[in-house]
Structure 1
Amino acid sequence: MERNPFVINFGKVPSQYISRELIIDEIVQEMTDEDSQNTCFMLTGTRGSGKTVTMTAIEKKISMSEDWIVIRLNAERNMLESLVGKLYDSREFVTKFVDANLNLSKFGIGLNLKTKSPVADIESALEIMLKEVRKKKKKVLVTVDEVSNTAYMKEFASSFQILIREELPIFLLMAGLYENISNLKNAKNLTFLYRTPQYEMEPLNLTLIAAKYSKVFGIDREKAMDMALITKGYPFAYQALGKYIWEEKNHELTESVLIKFDEALSYYVYKKMWSELSEKDKWFMSFIVKKDVMPVSELLELTKQKKNEFSQYRERLRNKGLIDVSGRGIIKLTLPRFDVFVKNELRYFFPEDNYDKTR
């Protein structure tokens, strides 16, 4: 039996992946340019928007060159110590240099050189190692997925600024949810992040999705476009719908497929998003989902709220990736069948009430 080409595992690059070539090429070009003006880059978007897969594609392109050392770090661990340890393990010339010149025994790294005093400061050790990397005409790319405003992340970002001022060959690529990136940027002494290029994971091109569906399922473009429209260009939805249509007899879009599709969206993405909303966020969303596109004036009339009262929630919901407010005076739902999810959630919590009475 032919293997399903669509996957819904987060972070895994599927065979029917639609690459964000423009973003990938722009970042890689900037990093590899002799006169690069930027050393730090951010990828932001909602869960399932393709941040991790895009980051992985950039890592692979960069690592194809022998001039680069690519290191992944976890924002929940001591990032400076992890970077020094992984840098030590990354290339033979770094390992030999450390073993001959640095006593990093305090951090459990390398040989215990009795002729050298143990290095007390991990940041100093990193600077020395990066100077050696520079001598060898190499560069280091550090990638951090699921960035959040942790103490380790703030410490690392502060140290990164110092390393850049020293003109050391280190680049940083981060990926995270809108709100987590925003919280990090607003942290004390990290205002440099406001000058960092930020790439939002916009919806995938529906024509490309339709072309993929048409080719994989052997169907005409019109039917494929009908499928693509259901996904709204949301990468996780593109994979999920493709997966369940592939499993269906004759690769048809059936009611059974839509049920599985809704369940996948709910289980893997929407329930987590919903749990992170405040009660007032949820209250506003319960009105917004009444229409795929709603004028702000209509929402204010329905909720009996003033424009300034809604403004902060408008911004919060936009940053959560739930609504598109780019159109003047218009609110659009960004996620596929999120209205179905919200209405089901409200019915679950208010089973005996009419939906409108939950207002």
Structure 2
Amino acid sequence: MKQQNPYTLTFGKEPTQLIARAAQSQQVIDAFLGEPSAQQVYMVTGIRGSGKTVFMTEIARKIASQKDWISVELNPERDLLTSLAAKLSSENELARLFQSAEINLSFFGFGLDVKSAAPITEIETALQKMLLSLKKKGKRLLISVDEVTNTPQMRAFAAAFQIFLRQDLPVYLLMTGLYENVSALQDEKSLTFLYRAPKIHLGPLNIGTIAEDYRSVLGLGEQEGLALAKLTKGYSFAFQVLGYFAWENADDPRAARQLARQYLDEYAYDKVWSELSRKDREVLCGIAQVKSGRIGDIRELLGLSTNEFNPYRQRLIRKGIISGEERGYVRVLLPFFDQYVLAHYDLG
């Protein structure tokens, strides 16, 4: 029987082969578990395919394994407050706790009917009582929300969470999202606490660690493993895609790389490209054409002054598409994306 491929092509699914971001995940875990907690909110950003969902899932699992911790993941497309109350009350142990605290949730269509108490008819009030009962039992709650956007449901949830924090309730929030979506949510005047929330940006993975994984799993030589790792540019999704096709085409490295590039184009870059403005695309095309990455040469090609170029440079850096670490230079962070840009720019 053929051995199962240890790499995955599925976004958000935790793969068998995983390059852990140990330092960043431990930063969040230590902050949440501290006595007292150093932070109660973390926001995780990164480009599509940077591993945000897997990162969040790993942290939530580790926190859930701790004594007196509860972990709940919410769907950002639903009514988050009602979903949170429903998920908490569906746990038998918690349901008994809420019943003993005489929290009657029958109005919402879930939870046990407590005859000695009138039904609570406002979801935020119900959650405050539920969280207070958790606090009295020494329990803490981690809420995870993946791929947040600036929707009415998300704003209502964030505003309520801000109140829970002011009331010193044992709630913790871990959210992931694209840079532009997180920024839009932060820009809401009523949600100023999100500006103070620490952010973790998931940049490229360590090339040496990827090379070691490829050598170990794919049976590659030292130079072959390093060469394949360098092709990924540390992009988390590319690490999986290149590994997957190298596994499936062990006797044909060229075919593996061609298939990987095609897959990245269709399942990652088409979406990234569609979310860029016309001017963003134009600037990226200039960056892709100037192989040296020298900003002066790029500006000259595009006919842009420093003040005109810098806003686009900064936005593309924040989106995780380019790097500006070296003064006076920029480089594309995504593997093969410069070729994708040059092939697609005229298509609009």
TM normalised by structure 1 equals 0.92
**Offset of 1:64 from its aligned partner?**
1.0
CA distances 1:47-93 after superposition (whole Å, capped 9, x unpaired): 0001100111101111112311100011111111111111111341x
Distance in 1 separating the partners of 2:250 and 2:225: 16
Distance in 1 separating the partners of 2:68 and 2:288: 50
- Match in the other structure for 2:95: 95
- Supply the AA of the counterpart residue of 1:332: R
**Offset of 1:118 from its aligned partner?**
2.4
Mark the CA change 1:225 to 1:116 in structure 2 (over 3 Å): closer, same or farther.
same
Mark the CA change 1:330 to 1:282 in structure 2 (over 3 Å): closer, same or farther.
same
Please give the root-mean-square deviation of Cα atoms over the aligned residues, in Å.
Answer: 1.6
CA contact (8 A) 2:75 2:145 kept: yes
CA contact (8 A) 2:232 2:242 kept: yes
- Match in the other structure for 1:52: 53
- Return 5+ residue gaps in structure 1 as ranges: 351-359
Aligned ranges 1:107-256 → 2 under 5 Å? 107-113=108-114, 115-250=116-251, 252-254=252-254, 256=255
CA contact (8 A) 1:240 1:264 kept: yes
**Offset of 1:187 from its aligned partner?**
1.2
CA distances 1:267-294 after superposition (whole Å, capped 9, x unpaired): 1110001011111111111111114541
- Return 5+ residue gaps in structure 2 as ranges: none
- Match in the other structure for 2:320: 321
| Equivalent residues, number | 346
Partner SS for 1:31: helix
**Offset of 1:182 from its aligned partner?**
1.1
CA contact (8 A) 1:292 1:333 kept: no
Q: Does 1:258 align with 2:264?
A: no
Partner SS for 1:42: strand
Name the stretch that deviates more: 172-181 or 292-301: 292-301
Distance in 1 separating the partners of 2:282 and 2:203: 26
Mark the CA change 1:3 to 1:262 in structure 2 (over 3 Å): closer, same or farther.
same
Distance in 2 separating the partners of 1:111 and 1:129: 13
Distance in 2 separating the partners of 1:139 and 1:90: 15
- Match in the other structure for 1:342: 341
- Supply the AA of the counterpart residue of 2:59: I
Mark the CA change 1:292 to 1:96 in structure 2 (over 3 Å): closer, same or farther.
farther
- Match in the other structure for 1:271: 270
Distance in 1 separating the partners of 2:14 and 2:118: 46
Distance in 2 separating the partners of 1:327 and 1:333: 12
Partner SS for 2:330: strand
CA contact (8 A) 2:47 2:179 kept: yes
- Match in the other structure for 1:22: 23
Mark the CA change 1:326 to 1:191 in structure 2 (over 3 Å): closer, same or farther.
farther
**Offset of 1:197 from its aligned partner?**
1.3
CA distances 1:2-48 after superposition (whole Å, capped 9, x unpaired): 11111011111111111111111111111111121210011110000
CA contact (8 A) 1:103 1:111 kept: yes
Distance in 2 separating the partners of 1:91 and 1:160: 24
CA distances 1:205-259 after superposition (whole Å, capped 9, x unpaired): 0000000011112222111101111000001001100110111143x521x2222
Amino-acid identity (%): 41
Q: Does 1:300 align with 2:299?
A: yes
Distance in 2 separating the partners of 1:206 and 1:344: 27
Distance in 2 separating the partners of 1:293 and 1:123: 55
Distance in 2 separating the partners of 1:21 and 1:287: 36
TM normalised by structure 2 equals 0.95
- Supply the AA of the counterpart residue of 1:59: A
CA contact (8 A) 2:103 2:130 kept: no
Distance in 1 separating the partners of 2:206 and 2:171: 33
